[in-house]
A and B are shown apart, each in its own frame.
Chain A
Amino acid sequence: MRQLVRTARLVVIGGGISYRALFNWTTPSMFIGTLLVGPVLQLLFFVYLGRQLHVADDRFYVLGNAVLASSTACVYGGTMAVANERRYGTLGAVLLSPRRRAPLWFGRALPYVLNGLLVSGFTLAVAALVLGLPVPADSVPQIAAVLVAAAAACSAFGLALGALGLRFRDVFLVSNVAASVLLLLTGANVPRATLPPWMQAVGEALPLTHAAAAARRAAAGQGLDTGLLGAELAVGAGYLVLAVLLLSLFERGSRRRATLDVL
Chain B
Amino acid sequence: MSRPERGAPASRGTKPSASELRGTKPSAPATSLTKQRAVKRWPRLVAVGVRTHVTYMSRSPLEITFAVLVPLVYATLAVYLFRAAGDPDRLLTASVGAGLMGIWSSVLFGSGGAVQNQRWLGTLECLVVAPTRLPLVLLPITLATSVVGTYSMVATVAWGWLLFGVPLHFAHPVLFLLAVPGCVLALGAMGLLLAATFVLMRNANALANALDAPVWLLSGMLVPVTVLPAWTHPLSWALPTTWGARAVHAAASGGPVAAPLGLALGLGALYALLAVAVLGRVEARARAAATLALT
* Touch test A–B (CB under 8 Å): yes
Q: Interface code B76-97, partner A: CB below 8 Å = 1, 0 otherwise?
A: 1100111111010000000000
A44/B213 in contact, CB under 8 A: yes
- Choose the segment among A3-11, A14-22, A29-37, A108-116 that binds chain B (4+ C-beta atoms closer than 8 Å): A29-37
Please name all residues of chain B whose beta carbon is closer than 8 Å to the beta carbon of A45 when the two chains form the complex.
Answer: 213-214, 216-217, 223
Q: Contacts A53-B82, A172-B62 hold; do A190 and B208 have CB atoms under 8 A apart?
A: no
Partner of A29 from B84, B87, B206 at Cβ < 8 Å: B206
Give the interface size class of chain B.
Answer: 35 or more
Known contacts A53-B87, A177-B69, A181-B73; A48/B210 CB under 8 A? no
Partner of A49, one of B66, B87, B223: B223
Query: B27 an interface residue at 8 Å Cβ cutoff?
Result: no
Q: Known contacts A33-B207, A53-B84, A190-B84; is A183 also within 8 Å of B217 by CB?
A: no
**A120 proximal to B (CB < 8 A):** no
Give the Cβ gap from B96 to chain A, nearest Cβ, in Å: 15
B34 contacts the other chain (CB 8 A)? no
Tell me whether B132 is interfacial, beta carbon within 8 Å: no
Q: Which of A38, A49, A183 contacts B73 (CB 8 A)?
A: A183
- Judged by a CB distance under 8 angstroms, whether A234 is at the interface is no
A41 touches B210 (CB 8 A): yes
Given the known interface contacts A48-B223, A189-B77, A190-B84, the answer about A176 and B216 at a Cβ–Cβ threshold of 8 Å is no
B227 within 8 A of A: yes
Binary contact readout A181-196 vs B (1 if CB under 8 angstroms, 0 otherwise): 1011000011100110
In this complex, the interface size class of chain A, counting residues with CB under 8 Å from chain B, is 20 to 34
What's the count of A-B pairs with C-beta under 8 Å?
A: 95
Give the shortest distance, in Å, between B241 (CB) and chain A (any CB). Answer: 14
B163-203 CB mask vs A (1 if < 8 Å, else 0) is: 00000000000000000000000000000000000000011
B69 / chain A contacts, CB cutoff of 8 Å: 176-177, 180
* A170 interface residue per 8 A CB criterion: yes
Report chain A residues within 8 Å CB of B74.
180
Chain B hits for A176, CB < 8 A: 62, 65-66, 69-70
A96 within 8 A of B: no
**Cα distance, A191 to B224, chains bound together (Å):** 21
Per-residue B-contact encoding for A32-70, CB less than 8 Å = 1, 0 else:
111001100110110011011111000000000000000
A31 to B209, CA, bound (A): 10
A34 to B62, CA, bound (A): 19
Known: A45-B213, A176-B69, A181-B73. 8 other contacts (CB 8 A): A34-B210, A44-B214, A53-B85, A55-B85, A173-B62, A173-B65, A176-B62, A191-B84
The 10 closest A-B pairs by CB, nearest first: A33-B206, A38-B210, A53-B85, A29-B206, A34-B209, A180-B73, A194-B84, A45-B213, A29-B203, A42-B213
A–B Cβ pairs within 8 angstroms, 12 of them: A34-B206, A38-B209, A41-B217, A42-B213, A44-B213, A44-B214, A49-B223, A53-B84, A53-B85, A173-B61, A176-B69, A184-B77
